[in-house]
Structure 1
């Protein structure tokens, strides 16, 4: 690992031997034109991750470099990047919100990142903090027959955090959730003692943050989401909407969660108790609009489309094979009980090598009739060689 890290640092130092010159194009584009101080954290980390990942940085090293650069950025005086207040209908509501001009402040961040990377290339830390946990992950996404790709996903192996977001009405909400939810989670004081509570609060906080951006920029999109967090011997799943996570243990599919769909009896009752309705228009919809009953965003239908996530925590016993995260574009075409067989067959292919398993599952869902965006992520909880030789029969059990 150290040799790989040193090799990357050397290559990066050759490409970026000095700070970016004022006025020169940034090597990676900022996610937004303006950001709040709170959004700066997530957007800077994502910008740094993209820059380093495109150049082959090991994930653990990338996370450490970005955190070090962000820490230095936040010690700077950022007032020169404050945006002038623009007159508008929400000016009074937002008078306390400080907005920063993204390109300028991200130039400072990227220069801090270059500075840290150059320093490490010259004097590599003797004992950099190791990743807390590394699990093999296979992920694949396709636009399929849809006009736009609105799915987003994120895997943070250094903290065993994995997420799939399925956007609708545009990609803004999904991109926002993929950028900020894990940051919001990391700031929850209860994260180590009560992962379930921390995940729910992180979802809620991200929804609240996106509300401000949606109001400022007149965005109308929403996103479902499913997050898996593994800490010690506990696997926690939090979700909004109909993206799902499925655990496979000893070759058997274990149902962890019940997706939020408008026709789910308790969801239907919740919406109706609020004065809304569930109607069938090609599929079941909340107030004749959205086909999910919980989501980040969709503020024109709040509180009927709730921003409150559900969460379950499962004890890991050591015989778990993998956990699969996917959007409804996959699960609408593939039954959970089919997953163990499909994965086992994909692993047995001579060209699979573990990395292409998700791709094989995505192709199967498309061939089975899915026309939606499809994203599949598999997080393997045991060595792949053990799974290839597994001969258990497929089936589904309810936890």
Structure 2
């Protein structure tokens, strides 16, 4: 497994500075009784901090958390993960900054999981909630994606091949399904089983935040990490104007289309526009 997977760089890089990022969201409840998805849109990670550290300038954060067996894990992650990340963020610039940021992401996921499980175990009855997590952290021009579970992240990039221009989609996340060989082997070595594509025949994902009752069965909170450099080639359609309404409408249409095609789960779509 490639934990720190880096995407190939585009052939042409012509940046003038850090990108301007804006986040938009659309959601549908589907057939669920309640909305268990939560999301965070922070073009500037320092916004929720009372005394923001100087090293967090040019840092953006966007995330979606898909809850199961309740909304408490996804709500907790949405409220706390970025604060833990800001607290653990590298204090000084160094040659090893890339590795330090990736370690910061891993540590923040682990602490968020530990903190929620501690709170969940203190309740009566014990909370059994869990959630997936897909987080985008952009530091200057480098995008880091950390994900757990089966929520996906995709980057749209314009490629030039001779005189031809085409839009391609690049996967920025890795699905954690218990039927995958590496995931299934880990679960089995921990004493768990995979039946009908689920952990113990119940849980659909092999990594998550929360789900304390499955942690002893090999379900872990370690995310996969990928990174890439954002450039002016990373856009869906350069002919479009940057009108907020069209981006919000696109999110809503995509969420509605997922429900129309038979998705009974909650659906949340985050679109991050990239401008240079």
* TM interval, short-chain normalised: 0.7 to 0.9
Paired residue for 1:294? Answer: 207
What stretches of structure 1 move > 3 A for 4+ residues in a row? 189-192
**Is the 2:36–2:70 contact (alpha carbons within 8 Å) kept by the matching residues of 1?**
yes
Q: Unmatched 5+ residue regions in structure 2? A: 1-17, 46-59, 159-166
Give the structure with the larger helix fraction. 1
Tell me the equivalent position of 2:76.
176
DSSP-derived class of the 2:187 partner? helix
Q: CA RMSD in A?
A: 2.1
- The reply on whether 1:373 has 2:266 as its aligned counterpart is yes
Report whether the alignment pairs 1:311 with 2:225: yes
Match of 2:37 in 1: 151
Among 86, 107, 121, the residue aligned to 1:201: 107
The structure showing larger relative contact order (alpha-carbon pairs under 8 Å, at least 6 residues apart) is: 2
Q: Please state how far the C-alpha of 1:144 moved relative to its aligned partner.
A: 1.1
Task: Answer with 1 or 2: which has the greater Rg.
Answer: 1
Matching of residues 20-31 of structure 1 within 5 Å: none
Report the alpha carbon displacement of residue 147 of structure 1 after superposing the two structures with TM. 1.4
Where does structure 1 lack aligned partners over 5 or more consecutive residues?
A: 1-131, 322-339, 384-399
Q: Which protein is richer in strand relative to its size?
A: 2
- Once residues 310 and 153 of structure 1 are traced to their aligned partners in structure 2, the CA distance between those partners, rounded to angstroms, is 19
Q: Secondary structure at 1:356's aligned position in 2? A: helix
Q: How many residues align?
A: 225
Assess, with a 3 A threshold, how the Cα gap between structure 1 residues 136 and 277 changes in structure 2: closer, same or farther.
same
Checking the alignment, whether the CA contact within 8 Å between 2:234 and 2:274 is kept in structure 1 is yes
1:279 to 1:356, Cα distance in 2 relative to 1, 3 A: same
1:222-252 CA deviation, whole Å, 9 max, x = no partner? 0110000001111000011111111111121
TM-score (norm 1): 0.53
Q: 1:298 to 1:351 in 2, by over 3 A?
A: closer
Q: Structure 1 135/316 Cα, relative in aligned 2: closer, same or farther at 3 Å?
A: closer
TM-score (norm 2): 0.76
